[in-house]
Amino acid sequence: MQPKSSATRRTVSAGRRQKRAPGSVPEFEALWRDSIGFLTLWVVHLGRRFGLLQALADRDGPIRTRELARLCSLHEPAVATWCEAASSLRILARTGPRYSLPAKLRPLVALEDDPAYLGGQFSYLALRSLDYDAFDGLFRRGEVDRGAARHLTEASGEATTWDHTAFLTSLLPRVPGLLSLFETGARILDLGCGTGAWDLRVARRFPKSTFVGVDPDRAAIDAAKRHAESSRLGDRVAFVLGAGESIASLGPFDIIHLGEVLSAVAAKAEVLASCHRILRKGGCLVVAEGLIDERSDPHEVTNQLIRAMGLDFALLGTRFFTRAELRTLLRDSGFARARFLHVGGGLWYAVASK
């Protein structure tokens, strides 16, 4: 990052000498820090992508860039530049020529199973930003150029790691009936399963349950099948190529999970009606979605994130629900009494029984 320009210094100096509108200088500083925030996002993403943060998290003491590059099989000059940037941004601590990842940051950027983990969100935004050239078509013609979702599968996989942790550590303890179904042995449909990360992680936790993942993306399903085979869970986890409207032949199920996919489905009512038909009596529908909270301050940090990410959703031809919209959609599809639980970061779970 370049130092402040002479024009910037003059602006700040003038602010000290003259009576200015309240908040003008703090607003400048806030926008300046937002620019730094964009670079912080990429520093964290690159550190995760190339195993640098994990290698540092696995060590007790500081390490030289040469050794870090060797551990990760990377080009040392690039690693040195990354370490300098990460240190300047206070992601790494520097002791002479050595670097370390502070213990307080390890859960945030390196420990994927920790409820405080944020690294996946950083990687989602970094990867999706690679597709943002498609905004030109959206703004100029109201059409999304091809390629707007080139990195979506990978980005979504990064972002939903935290969702899966929240499902296990925050949602299930608050819904004993749902937890009991998993523990006693349920047949579960994961609609919009992507590469199968949720199914495989939850299957390890609940060995009496079986899982069927469905997704319309052939590449994602192929990857999910490879992951199931390598994890030795293929006897309890199966993956099927298909769309939400084609699930009737797969039922019945005790639990149906839709992890941040309903907002992207065109035929929402039809998909939910199909879910209602193939769900056993007493079974549970679980819908995870980021929801707009219209009743709270739009400048509150969670609302800032959700509303700003509305641009990302617009690029995909969809938008966030409000809670009222999702409740109405569920009710009209036969799920009359849905319980809504907020698990943090704007992520909500709607749990409805049949």
Question: 180-199: per-residue pLDDT in tens?
Answer: 999 999 999 999 999 999 99
What's the pTM? 0.84
324 versus 145: the higher-pLDDT residue is 324
pLDDT at residue 345, rounded to an integer:
85
pLDDT band at 2 (very low <50, low <70, confident <90, very high): very low
AA identity, residue 59: R
Nearest one of 149, 165, 51 to 101, comparing CA atoms: 51
Mean pLDDT comparison of 27-41, 78-92, 312-326, highest-scoring range? 78-92
pLDDT at residue 336, rounded to an integer:
83
Confidence check: pLDDT of 222 > 50:
yes
Question: 47-89: per-residue pLDDT in tens?
Answer: 999 999 999 999 989 999 999 999 999 999 999 999 999 999 9
pLDDT at residue 302, rounded to an integer:
85
pLDDT at residue 24, rounded to an integer:
58
The whole-angstrom separation of Cα 111 and Cα 113 is: 6
AA identity, residue 163: D
Percent pLDDT > 90 in the chain is: 73
Q: Which fold has domain 159-353?
A: Rossmann fold (3.40.50)
Question: 169-184: per-residue pLDDT in tens?
Answer: 999 999 999 999 999 9
The whole-angstrom separation of Cα 337 and Cα 316 is: 30
Residue 90: phi, psi to the nearest 5? Answer: 65, 25
Confidence check: pLDDT of 21 > 70:
no
Tokens 């109201």 correspond to: 142
252 CB neighbour count, 10 Å cutoff? 12
Percent pLDDT > 70 in the chain is: 93
As a whole number, the mean pLDDT across the chain is 89
* Rounded mean pLDDT, 89-103: 97
pLDDT at residue 13, rounded to an integer:
38
CATH architecture of 6-110: Orthogonal Bundle (1.10)
Confidence check: pLDDT of 215 > 80:
yes
pLDDT at residue 227, rounded to an integer:
93
Given its phi and psi angles, is residue 51 left (phi above 0), alpha (psi -120 to 50 degrees) or beta? left
Domain boundaries, the chain: 6-110, 159-353
* Contact partners, residue 60, CB within 8 Å, separation at least 6: none
